[in-house]
Structure 1
Amino acid sequence: MAGSGEGASLAARILAFGPVFRKTLKQIGATRLVVTAIFLILGLAFARYSWNVILAKDAERALFDVRLLLASPHVETDPRIAMVTFTEDTLRLTGRRSPLDRSMLAKGLLALDRMKPKAIGIDILIDQPTPEDQILIDAFRTMKTPTYLGFASHATNTTFMTLDQENFLRDFLRQTKPGNVHPTSIRLLADEDGVMRSWPNQPPELPPLMANSLTGGYHQFRSYQGSIRYRLPKFEDRPVFDKFPIEIIANPDLIEAFRPQIEGRYIMIGGDIPDVDQFITPASRIRKGETTIGLEIHATLLAQMLDQVMPRKIPGWGLWLIALSVITLGALTAVSNMKIWKLGLLLLVQAGAIAAVPFIWQFHGIDTQGLPVFGWLIGWVFAYSAVGTAARGIGSEQRNFAQSALGKYLPGDIAKDIMKNPERLQLHGEKREIYALFSDLEGFTKLSHQIEPEMVAFLLNKYLDVLSETVLEHGGTIDKFVGDAIVAFWGAPISRPDDCERAVRCAVAMYEAGEQFRREAPEGVPPIGVTRVGVHFGEAIVGNFGGEGRIQYTALGDSMNTASRLEGANKYLKTKTLVSDTVVERSTLSCFRPVGRIAVSGRSTPMEVFEPVFDFSEARVQQFTDIFRRYDAGDEGALAEFEKMAAENPDDKALANLIERLREVGPGGYSALDK
């Protein structure tokens, strides 16, 4: 039963996702969706096949060369392999450049044979006749050391090997019988940019590669075409491979001196002549101007084979998975809602990971040649740009709508701030100190029964529009409309240092806006009542309240109720705007005159209330306050001063009302309002 319930819940969630998905597609739009999909597909293809794209493959090769160079081990001189070379000095000594002097080669082979090397490989093609051929043939026939003579075919090397040259080489090899001489492939293949990065393929019509021939084993390398493992010298004065000029090796007087350097080692013979058989390697490509002789490339292949180093390649499905992950990462990053510094940090981490992971793999024995690192970066940019553009298009429409909606209830600067920092608007209730405002239009309910419904709607909408605009102009948050009443507050969702002044000025401005509304009422409409406003400071629970699908941002608590009581108290005190003592205590304004103490429903203790009078001078407000304080302290003679003031200002109904109430309650008393 539990299992069926969980399944039903999962199915419900999947079904619920459908409308959201369809809504999102609708917001994206067909054109934008197609363009986004095209860019994602292009990004995915680039992230997988950038090694096959013009210009991009140059970047990929450069990145691989850096990885290979940095991961290349630094080693002492290899004790297993030595090279014997024809140099420029050899050519001057023999007076021959091409073909090389074969009598010198013969002398060198005979001397080497006496030093008992493990095997000898010759990276020289015997492809045309010379007068010294018989001398070399005789030397080959006497060799006891397994010797492998370089071989190439016209079919596999049409550029440098003609069919006549191949036939001559084959005939020469036959003449060396019954010696210990065998053909070996000296095939090396550079990439399109001329750099030697990979083991050459070994066509079946060719004999084994020189490295395979010399060792007589390691058959797994017969089909290996991975990257060459280059090594670097640990010390500048100690090369990876010993190298000896052939004219010194051929000197019979030096055989015993060189025996320790030759005995038991693989010996490779070839040319070390400038501009002949020179190759660019990843290391020499980075270190401009350096090249490596083909003989040393063969020695490097042999050392890699002896060490059985075959870096693993990431399979094709793995490359697809990585490419898809990179595209997904770029798309998810584009729709992530983060602050700019967090997004910047995330971008740096992702870029660093994309750049660093291939280096880590290279250092841990994974062949990263063919790894589309540059393609990952470009693919990520494609995905980020495509999805980000689509998301910004949707987001722009949503933000415009949301900001427009928020702007009906919040001041413009707060609405913009919430759009930038939505976390500022808590999705739950929180206790905040706010300035609560409640306004009401006197007699509107009675008025609505005297005029047509259409006129009622017109007047109410116009009145609420004027007063809500006044609230927003003063930075207030509109809580709700209750008929013709407006509930607003300051201090949430964002508080300002001058919220108190804003709330007080807004209360007075709302009364004045109501008076102008009365004066501009359409002809034939009965007289409209005054707008009364109450403001109180206190704690409230502010946040989003409601059901899962319908919520309202509002404030709850005694502060809102007290503001409502203050608005109602205006009717009894003959005032238009009332604020509580908690407001006056926090205000920097000096425009409040005390109008006594009142006890209202819902509060256990009386509170002192004040009327904002911006048309009073500061001295006049101070005089009024001093008289009230003296009477409140027991100086009943101060009441006469109020009476004199009232006589001088017969239109000040609030003052007349205050005098009447003071007579009733006496000094320190309060008026109980049944509201």
Structure 2
Amino acid sequence: MRLTRRARLILLGAMTPLLAAVMVALFSASLQGPSIDTLYRLREMVHGPKPAPSPSPVVVVGIDEETYRRPPFAGTPQALWGPKLGKALAGMLDGGATAIGLDLVHPTSVETLIPGFEREYLLTLRRGGKEGRLVLAKVQHQSNPLMPYRGYMIAAGAGNIRSVNLVEDPDGVLRRIPITLLVTDSQGGPPRPEPGMAAEVASRALGAPLVRDADGGLSLAGYRLPGGTSNRMLVNHATVAGAIPTYSLADLHACAEAGNTAFFEKHFKGKAVMVGTVLDVEDRKLSSNRWVTKPEGVNLPERCALPVVSDLYVAGLRRDSIPGVFIHAAAISNLMARDGLAETGAPVGFGLILLLAGLAAAITLATRPALAALGLLGVVALWSGVAVESFQAGLVLPYLQGVVGVALVFPLLLGFRFAVLDRDQRRIRNAFKLYLPGSLIDDMIASGQSPSLGGEERELTILFSDIAGFTKMSEGMEPEALVLVLNRYFTVMTDIVEAHGGFVDKYIGDAVLAVFGAPHTLDNHARAAVDAALAMARAMEEDPTLLATDSGRGSARIGLASGPALIGNIGSPRRFNYTVMGDTVNLASRLEGANKYYHTPMMVSGETAARHGDPDAFRPLDIVQVVGRGEPVAIFEPLSDARRADPADRARRAAYARALADWQAGRFDAAAAGFRDLAATDPAAATMLRKAEARCGHAPEPGWTGITALTEK
């Protein structure tokens, strides 16, 4: 069974979005990372930089360029920094830091060479470990992890060592932190989950353990961690400059040396602390906020003992990478402030993409490609707004996936339309465009059905045009040359008819039959037809080559009539025409012929003049009774704009109207006198003069109405 066009549209509108959504879903994982990065950028454009929680629950102690430059660190091998680092750690512990994570792995120590050199450092590690406020770092490998020096592990305690591994996405960008990692114990038992550095520090700072829920997800202090059973949380970076307060290790060491415990209490009490490298080149990572990073060294916290090194930072310099310790710190802040980013699951994401693709399909199928493209831009803009506001609220929608889905639907549907749907439209249009009006073909295409027999009676205006002097014009012409002349004339006349809302029903020899008011209605079909007739006459005046031959030039006569007519597909099931028939058609043809009697280029029926609505657009000619019609009809001549604006012509028309009134009243002598004054310049007046003179000196017959009976068609 052949589907209708509407059914195929519905099927195409349903299948194309599904195809686009499936195609996007296949590459969704690759698009998710750039989508998140784009949302960071869009969020900042709309809402500005994301502020950090106030006050920040986490701070960073940076082993920075300043630390390497200032004594006692400057010129000292890093292996000998243990006692200095321990002094700063002790200050933080004394100041009330709730948890300290060391994002440093020192697998060796000078303690083996210089016994007692790191005694104070080891005691600080022991204190922090016993109090549950210190976490050392290890780097988890596939087999043997990179562990801290054994003495450090013994001092801090084996249960206070956590992995600082960060897992990159396939494009090399760090967007998520592992909440837990699988580790293997020294006895070679099965792998077991262990909290990562960020989760461990946040857990100790909050004083609450990490809990695995029944469905495999994780919770911390009643906060259901985003990331589901994958145990990877998407980091929600604060993007204002200096979002995470960062202190220089050099300044804190000097502060501890000075015994300024008040500074440590003010800035570290109740805080989670991450200690790590924050250099220009070492341990820098690409993160999801890489397109909205800020210059470093801005909004630094209060200093304790040392001023900021003046040439440490380059003003305005932005880098697309950040030190890894800041990723841990941002994750700890998310866990403690409960503002991590949650990602939609695959089913919800697919549903959203399918919804957007379906909307795009509806717009694409509902309108022209140019307007559809604008509509799709509007859909993308709306989707961008929804995605940004959701991102601001902590929910990551599949933004780029949705955009790609919308973008895929447009070419897919256009291709399908051209190859499948529009092919049938083109076939129908090409098959019928030479025989049916364009508007009727459009209706056929919209309905998906071919034309069928049937007609209706409608109020129409019929224009009938014929070539005066056609026989003389065509004498001696070769048939091919005559056809060329006629075709050019018909082309010009047809274009004028269609430009005024009508259509050409047929060509009858050298005649044109045009219809106004069907198949689609016009606000005023009589006015449209009159305007078309005047335009046809004007075209003949402006182009002297129309109907010009060596034997002379033809001229056009036009008749117009308005009234009821039968129009529709008339004929047999195997062959029919969309045509018009009825008394109104016959009247238009008779009025065209009546122009020969009155020597006028065009005339309209009284009904047409009345429907036109502007009495000043015509001059009355006479009342006639045409061949084959019992009822008389008033006839009028349409006036061009030039004639309406000419005072002399206006005066002549008034004189003609007075003479016509005398004629119709039976005052033949007065009528003849009036027409005589106009006959030299007005062929219609000359015709009326002959009729009036034939009756001069005679009284009108009883029942005289002034009707002229025309005996020729």
Task: Please tell me whether residue 296 in structure 1 is matched to residue 326 in structure 2.
Answer: yes
Distance 1:112 1:140, change over 3 A: same
Per-residue deviation at 1:102? 0.6
**How does 1:546-565 map onto structure 2 within 5 Å?**
563=588
Secondary structure (helix, strand or coil) at the match of 2:160 reads strand
Deviations 1:505-525 (A, max 9, x none): 989x9xxxxxxxxxxxxxxxx
Secondary structure (helix, strand or coil) at the match of 2:247 reads strand
Distance 1:181 1:148, change over 3 A: farther
The residue that corresponds to 1:47 in the other structure is: 24
2: CA distance between counterparts of 1:562 and 1:329?
Answer: 54
1: CA distance between counterparts of 2:86 and 2:345?
Answer: 48
- 1:472 aligned to which of 477, 491, 494: 494
Task: Please tell me whether residue 636 in structure 1 is matched to residue 629 in structure 2.
Answer: no
Secondary structure (helix, strand or coil) at the match of 1:74 reads coil
The residue that corresponds to 1:307 in the other structure is: 337
CA contact (8 A) 1:111 1:251 kept: no
- 2:422 aligned to which of 379, 383, 395: 395
- 1:140 aligned to which of 96, 103, 125: 125
**How does 1:345-356 map onto structure 2 within 5 Å?**
345-356=374-385
Task: Please tell me whether residue 229 in structure 1 is matched to residue 236 in structure 2.
Answer: yes
The residue that corresponds to 1:364 in the other structure is: 393
Per-residue deviation at 1:501? 6.2
2: CA distance between counterparts of 1:372 and 1:50?
Answer: 13
The residue that corresponds to 1:75 in the other structure is: 52
Aligned partner of 1:289: which letter?
R
Distance 1:48 1:360, change over 3 A: farther
- 1:264 aligned to which of 264, 270, 278: 270
1: CA distance between counterparts of 2:392 and 2:630?
Answer: 76
Deviations 1:120-158 (A, max 9, x none): 3222212112244444333333445324343324624x8
Secondary structure (helix, strand or coil) at the match of 1:199 reads strand
CA contact (8 A) 1:198 1:227 kept: yes
Distance 1:502 1:311, change over 3 A: closer
Secondary structure (helix, strand or coil) at the match of 1:65 reads helix
The residue that corresponds to 2:550 in the other structure is: none
Deviations 1:47-99 (A, max 9, x none): 2244555xx67853541331465676413553533333434444442343433
Question: For this pair of structures, how many residues does the alignment match?
Answer: 584
Aligned partner of 1:218: which letter?
L
1: CA distance between counterparts of 2:118 and 2:456?
Answer: 101
Secondary structure (helix, strand or coil) at the match of 1:286 reads coil
Per-residue deviation at 1:367? 2.4
Per-residue deviation at 1:656? 7.6
- 1:152 aligned to which of 133, 138, 163: 138
Aligned partner of 1:381: which letter?
A
CA contact (8 A) 1:66 1:282 kept: no
- 2:101 aligned to which of 105, 115, 121: 121
2: CA distance between counterparts of 1:339 and 1:94?
Answer: 71
The residue that corresponds to 2:78 in the other structure is: 98
The residue that corresponds to 1:63 in the other structure is: 38
Distance 1:573 1:285, change over 3 A: closer
CA contact (8 A) 2:86 2:121 kept: yes
1: CA distance between counterparts of 2:425 and 2:234?
Answer: 52
- 2:605 aligned to which of 572, 577, 580: 580
1: CA distance between counterparts of 2:535 and 2:321?
Answer: 84
Aligned partner of 2:154: which letter?
Q
The residue that corresponds to 1:209 in the other structure is: 196
Of stretches 204-213 and 282-291 in structure 1, the one that deviates more from structure 2 is 282-291
TM-score by length of 1: 0.65
Secondary structure (helix, strand or coil) at the match of 1:250 reads helix
**How does 1:194-205 map onto structure 2 within 5 Å?**
194-200=172-178, 202-205=180-183
Per-residue deviation at 1:106? 2.4
Secondary structure (helix, strand or coil) at the match of 1:309 reads coil
Per-residue deviation at 1:289? 2.1
2: CA distance between counterparts of 1:505 and 1:241?
Answer: 82
Secondary structure (helix, strand or coil) at the match of 2:86 reads helix
> Percent identical across equivalent pairs?
17
1: CA distance between counterparts of 2:173 and 2:210?
Answer: 25
Of stretches 380-389 and 90-99 in structure 1, the one that deviates more from structure 2 is 90-99
Distance 1:193 1:290, change over 3 A: same
The residue that corresponds to 1:322 in the other structure is: 352
Distance 1:636 1:570, change over 3 A: same
- Note the aligned Cα RMSD (angstroms): 6.2
2: CA distance between counterparts of 1:610 and 1:117?
Answer: 105
The residue that corresponds to 2:706 in the other structure is: 669
Per-residue deviation at 1:282? 3.6
Secondary structure (helix, strand or coil) at the match of 2:668 reads coil
The residue that corresponds to 2:412 in the other structure is: 386
CA contact (8 A) 1:436 1:489 kept: yes
Secondary structure (helix, strand or coil) at the match of 1:151 reads strand
**How does 1:456-605 map onto structure 2 within 5 Å?**
472=494, 475=497, 477=502, 488-490=514-516, 493=520, 499-500=529-530, 502-503=532-533, 535-538=559-562, 563=588, 579-581=604-606, 594=621, 596-598=623-625
1: CA distance between counterparts of 2:699 and 2:445?
Answer: 56
The residue that corresponds to 2:191 in the other structure is: none
Aligned partner of 1:208: which letter?
P
Secondary structure (helix, strand or coil) at the match of 1:75 reads coil
Secondary structure (helix, strand or coil) at the match of 1:126 reads coil
Deviations 1:296-328 (A, max 9, x none): 322222121112334332111222223333433
Q: Which has the higher helix share?
A: 1
Distance 1:542 1:356, change over 3 A: farther
Per-residue deviation at 1:275? 2.4
Distance 1:113 1:310, change over 3 A: closer
Of stretches 355-364 and 397-406 in structure 1, the one that deviates more from structure 2 is 397-406
2: CA distance between counterparts of 1:581 and 1:599?
Answer: 14
Distance 1:471 1:265, change over 3 A: closer
1: CA distance between counterparts of 2:272 and 2:535?
Answer: 98
Deviations 1:152-187 (A, max 9, x none): 24624x8xxxx5x846x363355327x697112222
CA contact (8 A) 2:33 2:169 kept: no
Per-residue deviation at 1:228? 0.3
Per-residue deviation at 1:348? 3.0
Per-residue deviation at 1:229? 1.5
2: CA distance between counterparts of 1:533 and 1:328?
Answer: 57
The residue that corresponds to 2:210 in the other structure is: 218
Distance 1:399 1:626, change over 3 A: farther
Distance 1:554 1:334, change over 3 A: same
CA contact (8 A) 1:407 1:415 kept: no
Aligned partner of 1:212: which letter?
A
The residue that corresponds to 2:635 in the other structure is: 609
Per-residue deviation at 1:276? 2.6
Per-residue deviation at 1:544? 7.3
Distance 1:403 1:240, change over 3 A: same
Secondary structure (helix, strand or coil) at the match of 2:233 reads coil
The residue that corresponds to 2:641 in the other structure is: none
CA contact (8 A) 1:479 1:554 kept: no
Secondary structure (helix, strand or coil) at the match of 1:94 reads coil
CA contact (8 A) 2:125 2:152 kept: no
Distance 1:103 1:627, change over 3 A: closer
1: CA distance between counterparts of 2:110 and 2:280?
Answer: 23
Distance 1:406 1:284, change over 3 A: closer
